[in-house]
Amino acid sequence: MSEPQSGWRIELAVNGQHRSATVEPRTSLGDYLRLEAGCTGVHLGCEHGVCGACTVLVDGRAVRSCLMLAVQADGAEVTTVEGLAAPDGTFHPVQQAMRDAHGLQCGFCTPGVLMTFAALTAGEAAAGEQEMIEAMSGHICRCTGYQGIRRAAKALAQSVSGAGEAA
């Protein structure tokens, strides 16, 4: 029997930047992103996949980074809330919608909500208003800020459907 490996080598892109690291096989993606990649916008709340604060995009899909191991993201493109805005600081449309609708209070749930909305509004099969509202059920806001978040979801759904109609 061979000696156990001290770590697992992974390579991935985080917010467009190539990263290479050796991680313990049990390290969650959320812990790797916060502690090794410096993405402190990834908020770890319940660490059971319930609160949604740790949501990130992995190859364009919204995932709970507390439930995914870092080794499972080997070779993937990971986007955190730090990677949403344009390099010049211009807000991503989901960030602008949340700002305009006053959809944030303490900000703990905000990164996860933004990442879920970003996944739902990307691509050609963008979600409608009802899908956006339903997706909020996977996020817990401790400040009861749901009404502002709902207004942002509605505005996003309308802007996406309006953009699709204009094409």
Q: Which two tokens stand for residue 7?
A: 């770590």
**Nearest alpha-carbon partner for 66 in 82, 80, 53, 81:** 53
Rounded to a whole number of angstroms, the distance between the first and last alpha carbons of the chain is: 61
User: What domains can you pick out in the chain, each with its CATH number?
Assistant: 1-83 (3.10.20.30), 84-167 (1.10.150.120)
Helix (H, G, I), strand (E, B) or coil at 4: coil
Q: What is the pLDDT of residue 159?
A: 84
Beta bridge partners of 21: 10
Q: What is the pLDDT of residue 162?
A: 65
Walking along the chain (167 residues) 10 residues at a time, the average pLDDT comes out as 71 98 97 98 95 97 98 98 97 96 92 96 82 91 87 90 53
Residue 124, classified by CB atoms within 10 Å of its CB into exposed (0-12), middle (13-18) or buried (19+), is: exposed
Q: What is the pLDDT of residue 143?
A: 85
